[in-house]
Amino acid sequence: MGKYFGTDGIRGRVGDRPITPDFVLKLGWAAGKALAAEGNTRVLIGKDTRVSGYMLESALEAGFSAAGVNVEFLGPMPTPAVAYLTRTFRAAAGIVISASHNPYYDNGIKFFSDSGHKLSENLESQIEAFLDQELDCVSSEQLGRASRIDDAAGRYIEFCKSAFPSELSLSKLKIVVDCAHGATYHIAPNVLRELGANVVEIGCEPNGLNINAGCGATDLVALQKKVREEKAAIGIALDGDGDRLMIVDADGVVVDGDEIVYALVRQAIKDGTLEGGVVGTVMSNMGMEVALAKLNVPFMRAKVGDRYVMEALRSKRWSIGGESSGHIINLKYHSTGDGIIAAIQFLSAMVREGCSAREMLTGMRKFPQSLINVRFTPGTDPLASDNVKSAVSEVERALGGEGRVLLRKSGTEPLIRVMVEGKDAATVKAYAQQIAGEVSAIN
């Protein structure tokens, strides 16, 4: 990570640096300077539904204009939509104002390149270098102009529908879709309806403050209840910016990102379209790894973060990857993770196979997993402790190859995440508590 950029752009609490009007104005100017140096003077800006989006959108516009770069506004638009539109409009970059699954009082700025991928680390470094310089302004005749793309939503809806086979229909399915009061509220229900589904909407009334609040991919209780009430075939949950997908089946049982990836791979094998293997993360459930091995599908783990999953996919020239949290990437359909596209792929497989959401997971059984967050004192390093290392080795020997242990530091808080997986839930929980106790003893 750079001085300002994290693994997914720049993010923080609104009003606290760097998510302040003055910093974001300078960020727009710095990004504009870096792009203009390469002869690119056109960018697209989309946002989710947070009230702070208006303020940050205006600040970015002013910064880009001062650097001589033209801005085109997309309005509320899912993150993957901005990636797609940046590519199709041949813009120099696409900017998304969003903090994804975070609460309304957070916000962030993330960038896409002209190819619809996240910015290269080289370009991020150039932007950071300009951020440390004095802000200036081009002459009046060179100032950037601002305009709005009025048909952005319609264009993206058609793009999403193109991922669904033309010979199929969702007409026999009743689907509950939860848009987390976020950027997909005017997109996802329309996509599913136009593909024939009977759609029941929840989380589609954004007011600027309710994004991700008790709804969406990070809180499935409301969706589970609605699916059972409506006797729907399936529930689809997206997060605030639309790049995460979680599913619940007809009984309200959660289908997470690992299970969605497995279902898509299983269908791709049947269709003869699977390219190479699958990329997960260090947090991907071992049950998926075992199930993929039975299908003779190679599997590799990347660091946590869809950026790292994408890097691994591109380096291996594979097409499907994802995280258990619901980031699903299929490079046959899009250049970035897309919750709506992933949902469409899952639904098309259900229709083609004539099966339920639960039946889509035949052949995969998730291993019980225990995750404990242990706070540590900054300046100490529990991971270097001999006692902690000894406890980890002892548990790994006891698991005997039928489970795994993972300890990692949080990227945002002084926490050690202790994760143990195995075949027996009670045993796994006891092992995780044993290791967590040794980590706590370091403080």
Question: Can you say whether the dihedral through the CA atoms of 439, 441, 442, 443 is positive or negative?
Answer: positive
97 sits in which H/E element: strand 93-97
241 annotated as a binding-site residue: yes
Q: Which of 93, 118, 150 is the last residue of a domain?
A: 150
- For every one of its 443 residues, what pLDDT tens digit does the chain have, with 9 covering 90 and above? 568 888 778 999 999 999 999 999 999 999 999 998 877 789 999 999 999 999 999 999 999 999 999 999 999 999 999 999 999 999 999 999 999 999 999 999 999 999 999 888 888 999 999 999 999 999 999 999 999 999 999 999 999 999 999 999 999 999 999 999 999 999 999 999 999 999 999 999 999 999 999 999 999 999 999 999 999 999 999 999 999 999 999 999 999 999 999 999 999 999 999 999 999 999 999 999 999 999 999 999 999 888 899 999 999 999 999 999 999 999 999 999 999 999 999 999 999 999 999 999 999 999 999 999 999 988 888 999 999 999 999 999 999 888 999 998 886 678 899 999 999 999 999 999 999 999 998 86
Non-local CB neighbours of 182 within 8 Å, separated by 6+ positions: 48, 49, 78, 203, 206, 211, 212, 216, 238, 239, 240, 241, 242
Q: How many CB atoms lie within 10 A of CB 212?
A: 26
Of 150, 177, 206, the one marking the end of a domain is 150
219: DSSP letter = -
CA-to-CA distance for 328 and 224, rounded, in angstroms?
Answer: 21
Establish if 362 belongs to a structural domain.
no
Check whether 243 is labelled as a binding-site residue: yes
> Would you call 205 exposed, middle or buried from its count of C-beta atoms within 10 A (0-12, 13-18, 19+)?
exposed
Active site residues: 100
Give the pLDDT score at 443: 67
Same domain, 229 and 274: no
Are 47 and 136 within one domain? Answer: yes
> Which DSSP letter does residue 218 get?
G
In angstroms, the CA 395 to CA 404 distance is 9
User: Domain holding 393: CATH number?
Assistant: 3.30.310.50
**Do 227 and 295 have their domain in common?**
no
Give the whole-angstrom CA distance, residue 241 versus residue 306.
14
Phi, psi of 404 (to 5 degrees): -155, 165
85-88's contacts with Cβ under 8 Å and 24+ in sequence apart are 85/44, 85/46, 85/149, 85/152, 85/155, 85/156, 86/44, 86/112, 86/113, 86/114, 86/116, 87/114, 87/115, 87/116, 87/335, 88/155
pLDDT of residue 1: 55
Domain that holds residue 264: 255-340
Please indicate, yes or no, if residue 312 is contained in any of the structural domains: yes
Q: Which of 211, 233, 253 is the last residue of a domain?
A: 253
Please give the C-alpha separations between residue 335 and each of 17, 83, 85, 247, in angstroms, as whole numbers: 31, 7, 11, 22
pLDDT of the residue at 36: 87
72, 147 contact by CB (below 8 A): yes
Q: How far apart (Å, rounded) are the C-alpha atoms in residues 83 and 93?
A: 9
Query: What is the CATH classification number for the domain harbouring 65?
Result: 3.40.120.10
Q: Are residues 244 and 263 in the same domain?
A: no
The token duo for 410 is: 């949080």
- How many independent structural domains does the chain possess? 4
Give a yes or no: residue 216 inside a domain: yes
What is d(CA 124, CA 70) in angstroms, rounded to the nearest whole number? 20
Q: Are residues 70 and 182 in the same domain?
A: no
Question: Are residues 311 and 426 part of one domain?
Answer: no
Q: What is the pLDDT, as a whole number, of residue 412?
A: 67
- Non-local (6+) Cβ contacts of 130 within 8 A are 29, 30, 31, 33, 34
Tokens (6 digits) for 342: 């992933």
Phi, psi (rounded to 5 degrees) for 20: -125, 155
Residue 106 labeled ligand binder: no
